[in-house]
Structure 1
């Protein structure tokens, strides 16, 4: 299977331009906002910072008033190439990269697994429901869509009230027991699974409706194609026609949506992490916004944007592999 060079070059050029635009906007956005991180930090310090210390902080954060905006922009790119995202005011001037790295595994573990599960379950269920159109299986669609229309906030609170407060099956908040220290042990892993099960199930239930409905509708369209009729006329088993022909083509539009979902995994589900007090990137972004921690906000926005771009690149590659028409059109 050969992917044309022109297809690859056009995609690389597009995503390089998009990455440059995202980084540039990420640089200028905090500087367009009222105030700046150093001024906000000085207000919290209540006059305990000397003018010399303020000057040092502005140089540290690339906000020196004696430096031109263009030079600040160049310096920002140099810092990025060195892997330096700045310092977080709300975390004792700790490196932003370290602060994000401490929260990222929790979000990838919770939202990542939940998103992948909801996609696999929803897409598979949608394919089967579409194949058996007109059967009792169609009743699953409105039920799943109903749960998708319920806001995450309410769904999370209902889950806590029922499965934590009343039944006591799952812990209500946090990623592990209070007083426990993160370590590689069966006891700690069990705590993480127990605390993450309820928010993960909630995310899966809230996301299933969209995947089921989208896949079912695409299956109804694909099943009317001639190649499906020909495959059935040749006497191929229904299972093979379903998965090798119908589902394989019907899933293509789902890949782009899945790519966006994978990209936004890094951003986390802010409302869900807030409801369950889960220490992920979403809650970290919320805390940074409340604290006006611009360097941390800037680093989080950059990481989220890059994750979405990488996910879309992977989706384009998968789309080109599964659908030859894409490669031929670009070529």
Structure 2
């Protein structure tokens, strides 16, 4: 029980630190976002007054004339209320609304693709590591080569082959625009068709890393004394592979899987841009391009919460899967 209490306490402190940094970093950057937006307004022929400046400050979530500590308190209150300010890029939409419309697309695409890549890579890695040195083992470099290929280059190749040449899948978008978003068979089928190439890009680029990591851990685990003991006891190879070797070798992959799931929220910016996919990645690029500080803060906050949440869940599961973790704590 002490192990789990300490973990929860650690992540609560980490959450407070993340919120504090998310508040301070935009205020520590050179320049003022209000000045940048007012300069753009003047370039377009707008008239800047003191009332205009005040309105822009409130739009970005605070009044710079307030003491920093007071701004910090208001920021924390607004965050826990779910008020992340208004987005300049999508004005007058609130940041929380902009994120809410994009988050399901990224979770569905990157989340499912990450799970498929992890499961496939770990399973193949366990199989390859069980019999190192075979012809199957010689195929590992070809999968890791895909991990070294830039996302955008791999995505463009898939678009050229499957969308432009073979015309099997659409090249851009998240669904057929003639359909209304709904939980209907037609819409779901359209999202699967449009999301296949982006998901395939992520799987091909990720599976090699999972495979190589699991393969190396399997080779290392097979030299342990408890594996030799299990073989001496006459246990079947299938049982040794499943209950002894793979179970212990997969633990580092579980930790890596937690980090990968956490970064699902950030999406794959380049992949989403190549396919014009309506996810978080495209919103983040828009926020950076338009100096939309409120949207950037909101996105970074969601990414931080996702990473912390995923790692907390895996840390707690780790304590259940591997009792040695609790004993060392």
CA distance in 1, matches of 2:197, 2:64: 49
What per-residue deviation string (whole Å, max 9, x for no partner) do you get for residues 73-108 of structure 1?
Answer: 011011011111111011012110110000000000
Q: What TM-score do the two structures reach when normalised by structure 1? A: 0.95
In the alignment, which residue of structure 1 is the partner of 2:115? 116
In the alignment, which residue of structure 2 is the partner of 1:324? 323
In the alignment, which residue of structure 2 is the partner of 1:243? 242
In the alignment, which residue of structure 2 is the partner of 1:27? 23
- Given that 1:256 and 1:315 are in contact with CA atoms closer than 8 Å, whether structure 2 keeps it comes out as yes
Q: CA deviation at 1:138?
A: 0.3
- Structure 2 residue runs of 5 or longer lacking an equivalent are none
What per-residue deviation string (whole Å, max 9, x for no partner) do you get for residues 138-173 of structure 1?
Answer: 022111001111010100001101111111111111
Q: Root-mean-square deviation (CA), in Å?
A: 1.4
1:314 aligned counterpart, secondary structure: helix
CA distance in 1, matches of 2:36, 2:178: 33
In the alignment, which residue of structure 2 is the partner of 1:16? 12
Q: CA deviation at 1:6?
A: 2.2
CA distance in 1, matches of 2:61, 2:163: 47
- Given that 2:146 and 2:208 are in contact with CA atoms closer than 8 Å, whether structure 1 keeps it comes out as yes
Tell which deviates more after alignment, 43-52 or 284-293.
43-52
CA distance in 2, matches of 1:130, 1:65: 59
CA distance in 2, matches of 1:50, 1:185: 50
2:260 aligned counterpart, secondary structure: helix
What per-residue deviation string (whole Å, max 9, x for no partner) do you get for residues 243-276 of structure 1?
Answer: 1111010001111111110000000011111111
- Given that 1:37 and 1:295 are in contact with CA atoms closer than 8 Å, whether structure 2 keeps it comes out as no
**Compared with structure 1, are the counterparts of its residues 232 and 266 closer, same or farther at alpha carbon in structure 2 (3 Å cutoff)?**
same
- Given that 2:61 and 2:84 are in contact with CA atoms closer than 8 Å, whether structure 1 keeps it comes out as no
- Structure 1 residue runs of 5 or longer lacking an equivalent are none
Q: CA deviation at 1:226?
A: 1.4
CA distance in 2, matches of 1:283, 1:238: 48
Written as runs of structure 1 = structure 2, the 5 A alignment for 1:290-305 is 290-305=289-304
Q: CA deviation at 1:50?
A: 4.1
Q: CA deviation at 1:204?
A: 0.4
- Given that 1:118 and 1:204 are in contact with CA atoms closer than 8 Å, whether structure 2 keeps it comes out as yes
Q: CA deviation at 1:233?
A: 2.1
Written as runs of structure 1 = structure 2, the 5 A alignment for 1:258-297 is 258-297=257-296
- Given that 1:288 and 1:294 are in contact with CA atoms closer than 8 Å, whether structure 2 keeps it comes out as yes
Q: CA deviation at 1:238?
A: 1.3
Q: CA deviation at 1:287?
A: 0.9
In the alignment, which residue of structure 2 is the partner of 1:227? 226
CA distance in 1, matches of 2:266, 2:64: 32
CA distance in 2, matches of 1:121, 1:41: 47
